[in-house]
Amino acid sequence: MDEPVLEVTDLTVSFGDVRAVRGVSYAVRPGEVLGIVGESGSGKSVTSAAVMGLLPPGARVTGSVRLRGKELIGAPERALNSFRGKSLSMVFQDPLSALTPVYRVGDQIAEAVRVHQRVGKETALVKAIELLELVGIPRPAERALAFPHEFSGGMRQRVVIAMAIANDPDVIICDEPTTALDVTIQAQILEVLKRAQAKTGAAIIMITHDLGVVAGFADRVLVMYAGRPVEVGGVDDIYYRSRMPYTAGLLGSVPRVDRRGRQPLTPIEGNPPSPAALPPGCPFAPRCPMHVSACDEEEPPLFEVGPEHRAACIRWQEVHPRGPGRHAAPSDGPRLRARGERSVLEVHQLVKDYPLLKGAVFKRRIGTVHAVARVSFDLRQGETLGLVGESGSGKTTALTQILELAAPQEGRIVVLGHDTARLSRAERTEIRRDMQVVFQDPLASLDPRMTVHDILAEPLRTHGRPDSGRRVRELLALVGLDPAHAARYPQDFSGGQRQRIAIARALALEPRLLVLDEPVSALDVSIQAGVINLLDSLKARLGLSYLFVAHDLAVVRYIADRVAVMYLGRIAEIGHVDAVYDHPAHPYTQALLSAIPLPDPERERSRERILLEGDLPSPANPPTGCRFRTRCPKFRTELTGEERELCVGVEPEVRPVGEDQGAACHYADRRGVG
């Protein structure tokens, strides 16, 4: 076995009195991928910043970081600079801020080369173009002359990776490299990272909160909680034989895209502790389902629980995770229930264009963004329709059109039996009472200057319901919050609690239709599960209908009855969730589903991905005919020239392909995706 290339021993970082990282140790060998997983505030990013020596001056770092045997902690800045970018490089989360906007990307990569290698400008530029080709940027020589803003998010992240591997580093630290990207782009970037690793033989430290990404990518995993590693081991050990209740809880709280059935997720109760006020003993004890009094006595060390597998729990022998294999059991055929009779929302051939304007004083119309192009769907009483798509697919525009309750540009929207084009004032007020909305970011959607009581009382007052004090307490209890907290401001709550407040506000008037715009995507996994469970149980108890907009397909599979997949302003596929997820008929749905990383290492290794090439085309200038044809794997590989003509010339409409499933593809055929 090789010598470790990077060895971190007992690393601690403190900011003033707050200890953000408390004793992290790990080692990576060349060619190995170490995944560091943790929720926000677990200290995973601070750890990597400490390794790079990139912490602000106020931070105190102790312990040891050895890169090929050389100590980095306390090394002079000049010595560090000779390592950074050469033997130790980093890929950041936000590729836009990681690139300088005023330089051409080719020059930026060439600069990265020239800082550490004595080569001429031309040689460096040639090397830069080679690197761009390696990370899969088409026409690299041409694109090297472009500026960062001319690239899409995925392409920018490729450029950042090209810079990171420019000097054949020994270790690449990736800090949430795909979090800001759409799932099909994420799959591309992970592929590029694998290729980059194969080329350079570097070790990769992959920091992420996404358990799926780690499962398919990492060899070993380090789980962090409250600034400490709580479990370290091989990827299979962590996923199938975890010995720490936190890891088991984290895995149990992830909704799975490959599972049908509605067992409630098991959320982890409570919130992560603040690093300034850690509980005595095990930091996870207050949230732990296996908590005994001995847990509060002292913080458990990492016990050796198996070969190369350590966990920080005094009861590790008793932790038996319900393995991912077990709850796949109830697959009782597609549950195609009869759909409800009454429809609460009908959208028919909806169109929304935005003009593209140019000029400051005299605005000229230079084009049109076709944000939503003839979209139709309907939602019945008691049903949940998931609207999924990547950014730019038009799902938010469609949602806003519905919420505005104004006459659409073209098409028809019927909300609760009323056509929005012919609404009287009184009818509009009535619909506003029966249709409520929950936004993505609870902090932005709750007025920071209002107490929780005022926030919850606002809909009641607006629609003239008296006795708000009692109702507010009822609502808080309904969403699982303490009614005594009504006097607090939204800032005093954690993210998950804030989202519960937003849900309580939406429920205040006992609506019939709830529009949920990415309600859980801003939350940590363990918190997210609690909110999903809440939404699910509320729906059953209050007889609600949900229009659930999300980009996370796993969450949608978990909560929705039917799903509509959008691509570039059109519906690509619509139907019952089990039908669409198990046997997608549209090539885009197939690619989307296969791009989602599963928190299941064995399946990740065996599955075959359908990788989409390139980016979403601009909605201002969509391709003729089928909008997906430019990226369609079927169009490119399976169809004959004659068949392709239909794709280029005629835009496909949604056609039924199964009992409750329709796809907008001329050559749709249902197939399972691994």
For other proteins, the closer of residues 43 and 511 by Cβ is 511
Q: Identify whether the C-beta of residue 34 lies closer than 8 Å to the C-beta of residue 83.
A: no
Site for other proteins in 242-281 (CB under 8 A): 267
Listed in sequence order, the residues at least 6 apart from 79 whose beta carbon sits closer than 8 Å to its beta carbon are none
Among residues 432, 465, 607, 670, the one that binds other proteins under rule CB under 8 A: 432
Question: d(Cα 367, Cα 364) in Å, to the nearest integer?
Answer: 9
Q: Does 487 bind other proteins (CB under 8 A)?
A: yes
Sheet holding 6-15, edge to edge: 18-28, 6-15, 59-67, 70-71
480 forms part of the interface with other proteins (CB under 8 A): yes
Count Cβ atoms below 10 Å from residue 139 Cβ, excluding itself: 10
Q: Does 427 bind other proteins (CB under 8 A)?
A: no
Contact map string, positions 383 to 412, toward other proteins, x by CB under 8 A? --------------------x---------
289 binds other proteins (CB under 8 A): no
Q: With binding defined as CB under 8 A, does residue 451 bind other proteins?
A: yes
**x/- letters, 452..471, toward other proteins (CB under 8 A):** -xx--xxx--xx----xxx-
Whose Cβ is closer to other proteins: residue 287's or residue 583's? Answer: 287
Residue in the block written with tokens 């009818």: 427
Q: Which of 145, 144, 121, 146 is nearest to 133 (CA)?
A: 144
Contact 5, 30 (CB under 8 A): yes
Nearer to other proteins, 470 or 671 (CB): 470
How far apart CA 359 and CA 371 sit, in angstroms, is 22
The answer to whether 444 contacts other proteins (rule: CB under 8 A) is yes
Q: Which spans in 117-210 are helix H? A: 121-134, 140-143, 153-164, 183-200
Name the 3-class secondary structure at 310: strand
Instruction: Choose among 551, 597, 537, 540: nearest CA to 215.
Output: 597
Q: Does 488 bind other proteins (CB under 8 A)?
A: yes
- The 3-state DSSP class for residue 495 equals helix
Cβ nearer to other proteins, comparing 336 with 450: 450
Q: Which of 198, 182, 309, 289 lies closest to 246, judged by CA?
A: 289
Question: What letter would DSSP give residue 157?
Answer: H
Binding residue for other proteins, selected from 362, 484, 608, 641, defined by CB under 8 A: 484
- Based on the shown chain and the rule CB under 8 A, indicate whether residue 441 belongs to the binding site for other proteins: yes
As a residue count, the chain comes to 674
Q: Is 63 in the site for other proteins (CB under 8 A)?
A: no
Tell me the three state secondary structure of residue 344. Answer: strand
- CB of 426: closest distance to other proteins in angstroms? 11
Which of these segments, 24-32, 354-362, 531-539, 546-554, binds other proteins (CB under 8 A)?
Answer: 531-539
Instruction: Tell me how many residues contact other proteins (CB under 8 A).
Output: 50
Stretch 82-111 residues interacting with other proteins (CB under 8 A): none
The answer to whether the beta carbons of residues 223 and 233 sit under 8 Å apart is no
137, 413, 446, 566: residue in contact with other proteins (rule CB under 8 A): 446
Contact residues for other proteins, defined by CB under 8 A: 267, 403, 428-429, 432-433, 435-437, 439, 441, 444-451, 453-454, 457-459, 462-463, 468-470, 472-474, 477-478, 480, 483-484, 486-489, 491-492, 502, 505, 530, 533-534, 537, 541
